[in-house]
Structure 1
Amino acid sequence: MTDSFRTPAGITLGLEHFGDAAAPLVLLVGGPTMLSWPDALCEALARRGRHVVRYDLRDTGASTTVDPESPAYTLRDLANDAAALARGLDDLPAHLAGIGIGGMVAQVAALDHPDAFSALTLAGTRPVAPGPVDADLPDHDTHTMERMFALPMPDWSDRDAVVEFAAAKAEILGDDPAAARATAARIFDRTPSADPAAGGANQLGMVFAALDCTPRWRERLAELAVPTLVVHGRRDPFFPVGNGEALAREIPDARLHVLDQAATDLPADLAEEVADAMIAR
């Protein structure tokens, strides 16, 4: 069921529900759109007795879009959105999960609003903001990035071009081009504006390139006191697995679950495995 939620800050967040609304809440932060989380995983979690809600970050999908090229908000504001949504959907703390850039939002939300969350899942992400990486963390694979940057940007108003661009990017990253093509088409159809910046933000999360992500939060990870699962693809060339290993080391008692055959995406055929890992305590 699709829905929307208006935060105390006046931001509308587009969201989708799976499972029984009376069940314990699992809140999935978009990375940047809700479709970063596969349907199969949402359904698998719902079958395990959870109320699953995935949502779009600002400037993507059905959430408030203003100016993706010059966002007038910060990473902290996105973290506040997550906490407001968790509190608005359930009286009890939620299991918060973030993927990719959504994992950065989730880390900050759990640190800044510890009362709002009972558990944390971080998938395919790292403990620092977009941009220069800490010396002890593996950066994006150089060859992969060269191939990615060599791809010409599509006309974001041309559905076929956008879909084929997503498939080509997936092939470079080691993901499934067919799955990427299908997801990109769905994202395109949910993008509320034909403006190129909106298309780029929805497909690539380009808004994060201009987003204020200060201050750092890595040094605060030891403050996290909720059960934490770190999920990472062994073959991820964008955020290599060493980033997930660092998160698991620095968050007290965190569990690391490496998907040996996965790259940047969570493949639908691993949904049951990931759901079991998320529910385990």
Structure 2
Amino acid sequence: MSERVIDAGGVRLCTESFGERAAPPILLVMGTGASMLWWEEGFCRMLAEGGRFVIRYDHRDTGRSVTYGAGRPGYTGADLVEDAVAVLDAHGIPAAHVVGVSAGGALAQLAALRHPDRVLSLVLISTSPAVRGDRELPPPTAEFMNFVASAQADWSQTDSVVDHLVDYARVLAGGRRPFDEAAVRDLVRRDVERADDFAAVRNHDVLPDGEPSRAPVSSIAAPTLVIHGTADPMFPLGHGRALAEEIPAARLLPLEGAGHGLDRADWTTVVHAVLAHTAAPGQGGNPGAGTRR
């Protein structure tokens, strides 16, 4: 494991790798507003122990990557897609298996559309089609929307921010499983204390999309595995089904009772599925692990 700050076209990004460089590479793309710590070390190590070279990184305005003035990010969502490619460049990786969660799943889709030669396969967790068509998708739950509308935090006070983010994580968990508040609180506090300027993460709330993709997700050629919790309050399961139906030959792996994100209780299932999906043909596992639609 080694943390490394890279120069991505004049932009400072903090990355960390696990495993042997000669192993098949996996790039982990977290959702906007979240640093690489949300790809927890134990999960990364499980993938590395399965024979993969794993890279996680901090988005701009998170963790130890570059930060911008409050309300003035100076970059777009499209730039975050290019950042993912820049991370591969900095590590000397021509192409990788890309695993994205939440908005990171949308970034992964856009990377596959814009740079198909850099994406060996996709794993899309708790996300939605990055390019919306005419399909009707289910809205977030009322509980999620009520929290977003009413929640407040004093971003100058660490304890207030931690309490707010723990409450948000509780809502995202979906309510069908026990919520490990102690573990989440520890992760949130480490994330807040590690960041160069944690308040800068709010720039992601005002981030413009940048140049939109003109290609539909149905034109994604990379083998795709969709993993989605059945209790996701932000993107209900219909979003995962839409991806599995629209991306050619994609597979859907539902996680019963799981909410939004990657629950520790699902690590073994998800790691097994990712390792199978990213295995070279004939080297074990079903590269399309999961159930069709």
Give the TM-score band, short-chain normalised: 0.7 to 0.9
**Is the 8 Å Cα contact of residues 20 and 52 (structure 2) preserved in structure 1?**
yes
Give the count of matched residue pairs.
Answer: 269
CA distance in 1, matches of 2:217, 2:135: 18
Aligned counterpart for 1:48 among listed residues 47, 50, 55: 50
Structure 2 residues not aligned, in runs of 5+: 277-286, 288-293
CA distance in 2, matches of 1:71, 1:158: 22
Structure 1 residue 108 displacement after superposition: 0.8
What is the DSSP-based 3-state SS (H/G/I as helix, E as strand, rest coil) of the residue aligned with 2:138?
coil
Which one-letter code corresponds to 1:127 in the other structure? P
Q: For residue 78 of structure 1, what is the aligned residue in structure 2?
A: 80
Aligned counterpart for 1:59 among listed residues 41, 58, 61: 61
Q: For residue 290 of structure 2, what is the aligned residue in structure 1?
A: none
Which one-letter code corresponds to 1:142 in the other structure? A
What is the DSSP-based 3-state SS (H/G/I as helix, E as strand, rest coil) of the residue aligned with 1:85?
helix
For each residue in 1:208-233, what CA deviation from the matched residue of structure 2 results, as whole angstroms up to 9, or x when unmatched? 33222155448521221111111111
Alignment of 1:29-48 (within 5 A): 29-31=29-31, 32-48=34-50
CA distance in 2, matches of 1:60, 1:91: 23
2:250 is equivalent to residue 225 of structure 1: no
Q: For residue 5 of structure 2, what is the aligned residue in structure 1?
A: 4
What is the DSSP-based 3-state SS (H/G/I as helix, E as strand, rest coil) of the residue aligned with 1:235?
coil
Which one-letter code corresponds to 1:189 in the other structure? E
For each residue in 1:80-119, what CA deviation from the matched residue of structure 2 results, as whole angstroms up to 9, or x when unmatched? 1111211332344101111111111111111101111111
Distance 1:133 1:172, change over 3 A: farther
**Is the 8 Å Cα contact of residues 39 and 56 (structure 2) preserved in structure 1?**
yes
Alignment of 1:1-281 (within 5 A): 1-7=2-8, 9-31=9-31, 32-128=34-130, 136-151=136-151, 153-174=152-173, 176=179, 177-193=181-197, 196=199, 198=200, 201=201, 206-217=202-213, 220-280=216-276, 281=287
Instruction: Provide the identity percentage.
Output: 38
Distance 1:164 1:209, change over 3 A: closer
Q: Give me the TM-score of the superposition, normalised by structure 1.
A: 0.88
Structure 1 residues not aligned, in runs of 5+: none
Instruction: Point out the more displaced range, 37-46 or 217-226.
Output: 217-226
Distance 1:133 1:188, change over 3 A: farther
